[in-house]
Structure 1
Amino acid sequence: MRDDFRETGTAGQAHEAVDETLAAEPQRIVDTHLHLIEPERFTYPWIASEPSLQRTFDLEAYREEAKRLGITAALHMEVDVSPGLVEAEAVHVTGLGHPIIGAIAGCRPDLPDFPKQVERLAALPGVRGVRHVFQGKPQIYDSPLLVENLRRLSSLGLTFDLCVLGHELPLATALAAQCPEVQFILDHCGKPGAGPLDAWKTDLATLARLPNVVCKFSGLISYAAPVHWTLQDLRPAAEHVITTFGWDRLVWGSDWPVCTLTGSLTRWVAATHVLLRGSTPAEQEKLLATNAERIYRLA
């Protein structure tokens, strides 16, 4: 990372709340991590532990704010619905229209029926990748089918989003190394946590050495900072992610509406623009839009 990127924009801003007017920047944004929560349509067992998310967050609630912020397209990220509803969720969200132009569907790559499931998902127009949340489930890596099943994704033209906790990065690295033909996207910068970053930095750098892994510039306000965060809280993790993966291997995600637990879509976009100050317009365009179009085959 250049010295001007490391230093620009920090003085007088590092300990201040984000100015939301900074969100209205001219850059085009492709959001690779939009969740829609519709409890009248689907069930989400995990939401029982998140009272603030126990209501409807539909496309209409997202669309107006996203348009104002320059988000021109979005990928829907599976929301860990009840197992029997995974394919129904993918069908539903890919039929909603602008700005959703594709989806990352749920799946179970550790189970024997994965080959048939993923073939059905790949046949759905708009499905660009799949995900199963691995975080907090170290036993999933012991599945004798996991590597074999994930290797099927390449021939189907599907990516796999890795959702792991910071201390689980070595497990993710070992898995991705066994599937060199599969394109992996690390969600939420590998969830570094709000504490000391040394172990996360080392493990992230090791993962980044694998050419088949890219990183999603998302989740920092939820996983790398306290609830009442400032730019100073976000900057160490953000700078390490950009330095480690480089401008060609980063995509942007909102993590809406999870981002509303510690801020808002507008605040996260504004923070992103400040964190990217000092980089060139071409570099910003890659992280905010064109990398996503290439990696998820959106163009």
Structure 2
Amino acid sequence: MIIDSHQHFWIFDEGRDAWITPEMAAIRKNFLPEDLEPVLKSNGVDGCVAVQASESDAETEFLLQLAEANDFIKGVVGWVDLRSPDLYAKLEKYSQFEKLKGFRHVVQGQPEGFLLQPDFMKGVGQLVAFDFTYDILIYPNQLKEAFNFAVRLPNVQFVLDHIAKPPIKQKEIVTWTNDMRLLAELPNVKCKVSGMVTEADWQEWERADFKPYLDVVFETFGTDRLMFGSDWPVCLVAAQYEGVKGILTDYLSMFSDSEVKKVMGENAAEFYSLDI
């Protein structure tokens, strides 16, 4: 069983999706389930988790509609205003959707201290009542803040997206390594091995570029707390799906079959409580 723990769908809107800049021409278009399903099949992937790409209730509803119509979408990580005074009622409503597994906020674009705001922390803390998870999307300079955030919410199940986007292109690793080790000390934090190719040189990357970073995440989180994610279609600016998957499967060739199964699917299925 292989589960892609992190991918996106969208109907491209130049205003809403301003983060998709002109240099990312390969993804300035629509990406829907009919585009992904044959790619998953050709790569032997059994299902996926669709993650929010814009911040609105409409985005969550859009992903839920796609998941309802497509069985291979096993789970949805949506968006909700976690600082809303009406959050509990919204979560109660969302808890009726079996495929809605958790939520994410694009914290990488927020100022220092965002995660530690009392209203935000209170909101994330309410996810526990409905067994919802939280995806942490940050840059490396926010890793210490993420530690202080997660350590104060020990009952929330967290997963770090894209190994915190280290500066792979610049081959900088020391500070990121130290901060990842700190975050990995928390048992309620898992990590997605995803998003790496877009942090490397888009045209000139080699598999060897990723090994030092993979060494760190496997050393710190271990095979029980890591999960494969493609970050499709964002990855297409730098690599095709099979190239992204190949980076990880090549690295995993030194691990046991049971460890490979965990990283490539079982951990994601357990973390998100997927109906496989």
TM-score by length of 2: 0.91
1:23 corresponds in structure 2 to: none
Give the AA of the match of 1:90.
Answer: L
Native 8 Å contact 1:130 1:161 kept in 2? yes
Following TM superposition, by how much is the alpha carbon of 1:142 offset from its aligned partner in structure 2, in angstroms?
Answer: 4.8
Amino acid at match of 1:257: P
Which region of structure 1 is more displaced relative to structure 2, 229-238 or 109-118? Answer: 109-118
- For the residues of structure 1 that align with 2:7 and 2:228, how far apart are their CA atoms? 11
Query: Is residue 81 of structure 2 the alignment partner of residue 105 of structure 1?
Result: no
Amino acid at match of 1:89: F
Q: Which residue of 2 aligns with 1:158?
A: 132
Asked if 1:283 is matched to 2:259, the reply is yes
Tell me if the contact between 2:64 and 2:76 (Cα under 8 Å) persists in the aligned partners. no
Tell me the equivalent position of 1:88: 61
* 1:233 is the counterpart of 2:209: yes
Q: Which residue among 81, 85, 93 is the counterpart of 1:120?
A: 93
Q: What is the alpha-carbon distance in structure 2 between the residues aligned to residue 192 and residue 90 of structure 1? A: 28
Deviations 1:165-215 (A, max 9, x none): 011101111100110000000000111112310000000000000010000
The 10-residue stretch of structure 1 (237-246 or 93-102) with the greater mean CA deviation from structure 2: 93-102
Query: Relative contact order, CA 8 A, sep 6+: which one is greater?
Result: 1
- Which SS does the other structure have where 1:269 is aligned? helix
Contact 2:9 2:63 in 1 (8 A): no
- Which residue of 2 is the match for residue 187 of structure 1? 161
Structure 2 gaps of 5+ residues are: none
1:264 aligns with 2:240: yes
Farther-moved stretch of structure 1 (45-54 vs 28-37) = 45-54
CA distance in 2, matches of 1:91, 1:191: 27
AA in 2 matched with 1:111: S
Aligned partner letter, 2:189: V
Contact kept, 8 Å, 1:110 with 1:140, in 2: the verdict is: no
Unaligned runs of 5+ in 1: 1-27
1:87–1:121: 8 Å Cα contact kept in structure 2?
no
Distance 2:92 2:52 in 1: 17
Q: Does the 8 A contact of 2:227 with 2:263 survive in 1?
A: yes
Contact 1:93 1:103 in 2 (8 A): no
CA-to-aligned-CA distance 1:52-80 (integer Å, 9 cap, x gap): 32211111111111111110011111111
CA contact (8 A) 2:165 2:195 kept: yes
Aligned counterpart, 1:77: 51
| Residue 205 in structure 1 maps to residue 176 in structure 2 | no
Distance 1:39 1:157 in 2: 31
Aligned residues: 269
SS at match of 1:151: helix
Aligned position for 1:7 = none
Instruction: Write the distance in 1 (CA, Å) between the matches of 2:152 and 2:83.
Output: 15
User: Aligned equivalents of 2:116 and 2:163: distance in 1?
Assistant: 24
RMSD of aligned alpha carbons: 1.8
Could you tell me how far apart the structure 2 residues matched to 1:48 and 1:96 are? 30
1:124 aligns to what SS in structure 2? coil
2:195 aligned with 1:222, yes or no? Answer: no
Partner letter of residue 118 of structure 1? Answer: L
Q: Contact (CA 8 Å) 1:86, 1:107: kept in 2 or not? A: no
Identity of aligned residues (%): 28
CA shift at 1:105, angstroms? 0.7
